[in-house]
Structure 1
Amino acid sequence: MILRANKGQVSYGVSIGIILIDTFTPFIPGDVGNATTYSFPVRFQTVKGLTFDKLLNKDRSMLEPLIEAGQDLVNEGVKAVTGDCGYLAMYQEELADTLKVPVFMSSLLQLPFMSHMLKKGEKIGVICSKADYFDEKILEGLGINSHVSLCVRGLEGQENFRKAAHDEIGIIAPDLIEQEVVSVARQLTEDEPAVKLLLLECSSLPPYAAAVQQAVQLPVFDYVTMINYVQSTLVQSRFQGFM
């Protein structure tokens, strides 16, 4: 067997590339931005100047830096590119059209798949970072039609989450944030009995998915379930067993 080097590539063996926005927040295990979240290696690339506020303001000036970050990851050999904020959905189409690998920038891309798992009249509950930003336009950009029945709740009113994720004070209290996320999930499912699946939109929420599931006893999707799924398609393994 003869293997050839790829021009400009200096490391190998990483399938998933993750574009990070420019934040000042500790990333605990389970967060998309923490490498120990994964059972496989990942490569990170930060887009300097792409802040959460710019995403909320739908700042299109950051498209080129995003494309450059994605191309840098592709040049280093990744086989697919994702991000660390569900609101990166606004750039999904342009990045997918430009990069020569599959692109899945937002956890919201799981919604069509989830919707087909439901009976008529059932709904998907979405817990997101900031509900005011969550509008039809962001879904339309992902090709998600209005027939997907959603119940959306934001975490902007939760003090500990807001301080860590929105105010970016540089300190996080995971136990307290877990209590807040679980509380919102419980209230959502109590208010909306038709909700049968949950999606945690924000990339900082997967650390709390197990606690949410224990509290509401529903399937819980998040950024990490999506990344793990894509990884499983990029790196298939032969089956071992017997008959």
Structure 2
Amino acid sequence: MGCSHSSAATTRTSKQSRRAKQSRAFCAGLPVVGILRCDGARWECAQAIVSAADRAEYHYRIVYAVVEGLPYQHVRAGKPLSASQEEVLRVAVEELDSAGCVCITGDCGSFVHYQGAVRSLTTRAVVLSPLVQASLIATMYQRTEKVIVVTNDTNDYSQADLEQNLVAIGLEQDDAKRFIVVGLQHIRGFATADVADQEVSEWGLVDESVTTVERKAIITTVERKAKERNAKAIILESTLLPSFSDALRARLGLPVFDALTLVDYFVHASTDNPRFGLDFDERQAGRCNAYDGLDPAKLPAIGILRIDYEYPPALGDIACEKSYGYRTTHEVAEGLTFEVAQEGGPLCSEKRENVAAALQRLQATPGVVGIAGDCAASS
């Protein structure tokens, strides 16, 4: 019996050792995201929380580089960097560069003030703030439609500050005005003074349960949405807020962009596609889906506007439903041939009506949250 128990224990230990080695090997092969940290930062930024080794659904690793001598209050205010701070920033970026990062982001949305400075120090993608997504979001919606930007405290980050940052990262002034800032400083723990309070060793939601804070954050955003009826999306500017993203999506039915959607964007663009990439196993076709086992009818979908062109769709084509890890629905704009789309000239009334009809069918499809095209020329 003793030998049997010993043998069983050895087998378990051997299996655990193999799993540990496999886990380490898996993690070592993951893309790396670099995070610049404020000096003395006392919060765990969202990117770090979701990329923990035991959270396999977020497939990237993180490395930190603290910008010593650059505290949160300085970053929040966007103060000019001194010569010594510029040098420390250069060293921090160099440290992240040497780690082979696919992109460099910040532990604080206010790092957007230094987007240009960091961009000049590296050839890596620099995405210091969730606001970097604003340029793409602005092109998605009509110029009369708006985007709500939620920050932790508008007492020191005003509408004018937001617009100035957006223009600095590439938006036109008229587009920058479409982004409307709202603050959560009335919720204990979110005021800048609370975040920067050096009397406590770790930032937290003071005397509040997560449920209570979530409810207050949602109410604030919903109230602002009621005033901005043509608001079509939300950006959570602060890295303290992504834990509320799903609740906001569920309550408002709007896309919510945050520090995680930003990093995910670059990680996915830098890694092999599990549905048809270099390491793809044809036996897994159509099964590499994060939503397996869920009711497709209840999932969000992307509508695909297709040109009037018939060809056998292959895995990897935009016209192939198995190319996606989510639900898609397709509609053809009759008469909009490849040649017509490639020419890019004005459409006749019949073709315009056909395109409009196809778009209406896509918009009427339950669950469609966005519309893409199957041909770049159709843009």
TM-score by length of 1: 0.85
Is 1:74–2:97 an aligned residue pair? yes
RCO greater where, 1 or 2, for CA within 8 Å and sep 6 or more?
1
3-state SS of paired residue (2:234)? strand
Pair 1:145 & 2:145 matched: no
1:21 is matched with: 38
The equivalent residue for 2:157 is: 133
Match of 2:47 among 18, 32, 45: 32
Q: Percent identity?
A: 24
Instruction: Give yes or no for contact 2:134–2:166 (8 Å, CA) kept in 1.
Output: no
Counterpart AA for 2:197: D
Deviation (angstroms), 1:110: 0.5
1:84 aligns with 2:111: no
Question: Is 1:208 aligned with 2:233?
Answer: no
For 2:253, the equivalent position in structure 1 comes to 217
Note if 1:121 corresponds to 2:153: no
Q: Give the distance between the partners of 1:97 and 1:24, measured in 2 at CA.
A: 24
TM-score of the two chains, using structure 2 as the length reference = 0.56
Q: Give, in whole Å, the separation in 1 of the partners of 2:66 and 2:222.
A: 34
| Pair 1:67–1:195, CA change in 2 (3 A) | same
Structure 2 vs 1, CA of residues 26 and 90 (structure 1 numbering), >3 Å: closer, same or farther? closer
- Cα deviation for residue 120 of structure 1 reads 3.5
Residue in 2 aligned with 1:172? Answer: 204
The residue type paired with residue 56 of structure 1 is: R
For structure 2, list consecutive stretches of 5 or more residues without a partner in the other structure.
1-27, 287-313, 315-379
Shift of 1:171: 4.6
User: Which residue, out of 154, 168, 174, partners 2:183?
Assistant: 154
Give the Cα–Cα distance (whole angstroms) in 2 for the partners of residues 56 and 67 of structure 1.
19
Amino acid at match of 1:43: V
User: 1:3 — aligned with what?
Assistant: none
Distance of 1:13 and 1:213 partners within structure 2: 28
- Please list every run of at least 4 consecutive aligned residues from structure 1 whose deviation after the TM superposition is greater than 4 angstroms: none
Distance 1:93 1:208 in 2: 29
After superposition, where does 1:38-77 map in structure 2 within 5 Å? Answer: 38-59=58-79, 60-61=81-82, 62-77=85-100
Residues 112 and 129, structure 2, Cα contact 8 Å, conserved in 1 = yes
Q: Flag the 1:90–1:160 CA change in 2: closer, same or farther, 3 A.
A: closer
Which stretch shows the higher mean deviation, 51-60 or 158-167? 158-167
Judge conservation of contact 1:124–1:150 (CA < 8 Å) in 2.
yes
The AA in structure 1 aligned to 2:168 is G
Asked if the contact 2:30/2:59 (under 8 Å) is kept, the reply is: no
Contact 2:149–2:181, Cα closer than 8 Å, also in 1: yes
The alpha-carbon distance between structure 1 residues 77 and 216, as it changes in their structure 2 partners (threshold 3 A), is: same
For the 8 Å contact 1:14–1:43, the answer to whether it is kept is: no
Does the 8 Å contact 2:195/2:203 carry over to 1?
no
Q: May I ask how many residue pairs the two structures share in their alignment?
A: 231
1:160–1:176 CA contact under 8 A, matched in 2: no
Structure 1 or 2, whichever has the larger Rg, is: 2
Per-residue CA deviations over 1:121-160 (Å, capped at 9, x if unaligned) read: 1100100122232413222221222222111101222223
Q: Give the aligned residue type for 1:39.
A: H
